[in-house]
Amino acid sequence: MLGRHDDEQVAELLHALVRHLTKASIEVLAPAALAHDLDVERVDESSIANDADLVIAIGGDGTMLYAAKIAGGRDVPLLGINRGRLGFLADVSPDEMVATVDQILAGQYAVESRLMLDAVITHADGERVTATALNDIVLQRRDTGRMLDVVARLDGQYVNTHSGDGLIVATPTGSTAYSLSCGGPIVEPGLEAIVIAPICPHTLTDRPIVIPSTRRIDLKILEREDTSAEVVVDGHSIGAIEPDGELSVTMSPYRARLIHPPGYDFFGLLRSKLFWGRDSRVRNVDV
């Protein structure tokens, strides 16, 4: 079980779920750093998925991304209890938590296999930095107001030189995250596809594109005065990238297995989170 235990709202749910599971004689694993006095087995957080049959993450989508990093390479299903704001990934509400967990333990659930991406930064000296993303890999400008010129190639074939604030490479899962705010499309999670979306492009005709997940994406930045860029994977910087370095993005051999209760509806989730079909003219305004 994972979550920001220093958050009172998360801690409240964590306590309630642990009590419920232990009453049902189900062994619960929790991070060794968990400060609360709970009847759980303490394990190292990074290896919590090694001995687990199910990982439950309580929090927002950030918590889910962190949990997917831990569980993704171990083929362990992941359930999200939403204590965040938007909740595209953590889609079970607190009110439904206990009933949903009981359904899942009774074998009533659906499992989705979500595409993940591997990022590799190769520096001029040969040093390599790697990371895996469930949402997106972002090459963005850093500590400067100057534009970046990003040269993109697919399987060695030149595509474009994108001038702007950077470039997003997103999975279908990540298509509803940063990419969406940059005008990228919403991609149904089951598609084997990758979105490449420019960030604040200098040329308005520089538009997002969708490519097969089997393609290799190589990105380099051109030398400019005061050029400074970094690579961010699922919201966390993995380091700077220089004009003599390269970022490569490929489909990961690992998958995130997201578990959902019966009746899960991706498009229903979109309608709920994005307020589709609602009359935006009806508003309650407090003066």
Structural element, H or E, at residue 59: strand 55-59
Q: Residue 225 is which amino acid?
A: E
Structural contact between residues 54 and 79, judged by C-beta atoms closer than 8 angstroms: yes
Kindly tell me the number of DSSP H helices and DSSP E strands found in the chain. 5, 17
Q: Return the active site residues.
A: 61
Residues forming beta bridges with residue 128, ordered by sequence position: 122
Alpha-carbon distance of 65 to 76, in angstroms, equals 14
| Pairing outcome for strands 41-43 and 29-31 | parallel
Alpha-carbon distance of 114 to 216, in angstroms, equals 18
- Residue 69 three-state SS: helix
Alpha-carbon distance of 136 to 176, in angstroms, equals 10
**117 CB-near residues (< 8 Å, 6+ apart):** 132, 133, 136, 137, 169, 171, 194, 249, 250, 251, 252
Alpha-carbon distance of 198 to 200, in angstroms, equals 6
Structural contact between residues 220 and 245, judged by C-beta atoms closer than 8 angstroms: yes
**How many whole angstroms from its chain centre is CA 113?**
14
